[in-house]
Structure 1
C-alpha cells in the first residue's frame, strides 16, 4: 500500500476513532492526540501486514486511551482546559434498550466514576460493538474477563442515570407549550416570581431575573424554534432545540421546586455547543 493510499484509508477511519477516543477520555483534545498517536504508529508499521485496518486502529487507540486513563489515576492533579460537558440523555421509556445510545449522546460524563478497564470495556463493546475477544486483547485479558468488566460498568452506569419526576417533565412541557402559544399569563403561572435564567450565548453569559422578563424572553425564543426534543440535562428536565433550518439551537435545563421553575440554565452559543459535543444529537424528522 502506498503512503497516499494508507493516509486515505486512515482518514476514512478518523471520525470513528475520534468518537471512540472522545467517549473514552471525555476530552476532544485528548481524543485527537490519541488518534494522532495511532497514525504515527501506523506510519511506522508495514501496512501490508495488517489484515484488518479498522480493527488494528481500534486496538491501538484503545491501548493509547487506557494508558492515558491510568496516567490520570496516578496524577489526579492534572487539569484540563475544556469546559465541563453536559450530561444529556434522550427521554425514552425503554431504559435498557437505549442505555448505550443515550450514554453515548451524553458524552459519558458518568463514566468518570469507572476504572480505566471498565470504561474501555463498556465504551468499546456497548457503544461501538467491538467483540469481547478484541476488547480482552486490548486489555490483556480473556474475552470472559472483558465481558465481566463491561457488565460491571453497565450496572454502575445504570445506577447513576438521573431520575426525572414525571411532574417536573409536565411543568417543562407546559412551559414550552405556553411559550409557543404566546400565553404570557400561562408562563407567569409556571415561573417562580424570582426565577433566574442564565444563558450562554454567542455574546457571552446573559442573566435574566424575574418571571416577567423570563416569560418575555421565552416567548421571543419560541418563534425561532422549529423542533424541541425532551431530554435530561445534568439530571434535570430539559430540552434540546433546533431552528427552522434544522440547525441545533440550544440546550436548556430547568430547576423546579413546588411545581414552578425557579432556575433555567441554557446554552445557545454554537462554539460552546460544539465544545460540549452536543452536535452529535440529530434533530428528529419533521412530520
Structure 2
C-alpha cells in the first residue's frame, strides 16, 4: 500500500512544465483539444525516455511539443477534424467596453486573439518559428534543431513571419469601421431594408447557423439578406468581440444566452456570419452575462466610437 502513495519523479517533473507546454501547443495549433493531444503525446515520449539522459527537461519538452505540433500542422490534422463540441468553447467573447480576459492580457502586445487568425496564414515552419521565438523566447538555435535549419536560417524565417504578422494585423480604426458595417447590417435588418442589406453584404457571403437540428449554411447576399430576420432580433442585444471580430450576444430575461453572432468583415462588407442559437452549444461556451440595463446596447456605439 505504501507504493500507492509514492510520488513519481518523472510525472512530477512533467507536471511542472505542463501549463507552458499546453500554451505552446495552443498558440501553434489554435485548438485546446489539439493542444491537449500534443501534450499527452509529449508525456508518453518522456515516460519512455526517462529523465536520466536529459540535461534540460524544459528545453527537451518544448522541442518535443514543437516537433509534434509541426507534424500536426503539416499533416493538416488541426481544427477541421476537431469535434464541434470541442471547438465551440474556443469562442472567446467579451462585451464591448468590458476589460479583456486575464489570459489575453498575459499574452502581451505581441499576441492577442486576432493573432490566432493571422497565424493561420503562416506556413507551418514560419508559425513555429514565430510562436516559439517571439512569444515564448526560445532561442533560434533550439528552434533550428526542430526545423532542421541553422540558427541564421531560422532567424530569417522568424523575421519573415514577423513581417507577415505585422502586415496582417489590423490598422488603427479598423475595428471601429468593422463595427460600423455590422451596425449598418443590423439596422437594415431591423428596418427590413433589403437594398441596404445587400449593400453591406459581400456577394458571396456565407451565413452559418448552429441550431438544435444541426448546422445550416446559406451562401450569397440575396439569400442571406432574405434570412436576416434573425439579426433583427439581435439589434437590441449587446455588442461583443468574438475571437477579435465584431459580434452580438443576446440573453433571455433570466440571463441565459439566447444567441451569438460572429461577423467577418473585409473591405467594408460582411463576408461571413456565424450564428449560434442552439442552447446546448451556447451552454458549452464561457459566455459573459448581460450588462447593466442600457449599457452598451447595439443602438448605442461602443466607447471607441463615441
Q: Aligned-pair distance for 1:58?
A: 0.7
1:122 matched residue in structure 2: 130
Superposed CA RMSD: 5.3
Determine the C-alpha separation between the residues in 2 that align with 1:262 and 1:55: 42
Q: Aligned-pair distance for 1:121?
A: 0.6
2:240 matched residue in structure 1: 228
User: 1:165-244 maps to which residues of 2 (within 5 A)?
Assistant: 167-173=177-183, 184-185=190-191, 188=193, 192=197, 198-205=208-215, 210=226, 213-219=229-235, 222=237, 225=238, 228-229=240-241, 233=245, 238-239=246-247, 241=249
Does residue 38 in structure 1 map to residue 48 in structure 2?
no
Q: Aligned-pair distance for 1:190?
A: 9.3
Encode CA deviations 1:27-64: one digit per residue, 9 max, x unaligned: 65554443222112211234255454332211111122
2:82 matched residue in structure 1: 82
Q: Which one of the candidate residues 267, 275, 283 is aligned to 1:266? A: 275
2:103 matched residue in structure 1: none
Cα distance change, pair 136–212 in 1 and its aligned pair in 2 (3 A):
closer
Q: Aligned-pair distance for 1:211?
A: 7.5
Determine the C-alpha separation between the residues in 2 that align with 1:192 and 1:262: 12
The TM-score with structure 1 as length reference comes to 0.60
Determine the C-alpha separation between the residues in 2 that align with 1:139 and 1:37: 19
SS in 1 for 2:49: coil
Determine the C-alpha separation between the residues in 2 that align with 1:132 and 1:246: 48
Considering Cα pairs closer than 8 Å and 6+ residues apart, tell me whether 1 or 2 has the greater RCO.
2
Determine the C-alpha separation between the residues in 1 that align with 2:58 and 2:260: 34
Gaps of 5+ in 2: 1-5, 97-107, 219-223, 296-306
Give the total of aligned pairs.
256
Determine the C-alpha separation between the residues in 1 that align with 2:77 and 2:55: 41
Q: Aligned-pair distance for 1:142?
A: 3.9
2:62 matched residue in structure 1: 58
Q: Aligned-pair distance for 1:137?
A: 3.5
Does structure 2 conserve the Cα–Cα contact (< 8 Å) formed by 1:117 and 1:139?
Answer: yes
Encode CA deviations 1:83-120: one digit per residue, 9 max, x unaligned: 798999x99xxxxx845334544383222xx1x43221
SS in 1 for 2:82: coil
Does structure 2 conserve the Cα–Cα contact (< 8 Å) formed by 1:132 and 1:143?
Answer: yes
**Higher alpha-carbon deviation: 194-203 or 141-150:** 194-203
Does structure 2 conserve the Cα–Cα contact (< 8 Å) formed by 1:124 and 1:135?
Answer: yes
Q: Aligned-pair distance for 1:209?
A: 5.8
The TM-score with structure 2 as length reference comes to 0.57
2:8 matched residue in structure 1: 4
Q: Aligned-pair distance for 1:253?
A: 0.7
2:142 matched residue in structure 1: 134
SS in 2 for 1:106: helix
SS in 2 for 1:228: strand
SS in 1 for 2:197: strand
Encode CA deviations 1:123-175: one digit per residue, 9 max, x unaligned: 21123332333323333444333221111122233444577596543232466
Does residue 108 in structure 1 map to residue 116 in structure 2?
no
Gaps of 5+ in 1: 92-96
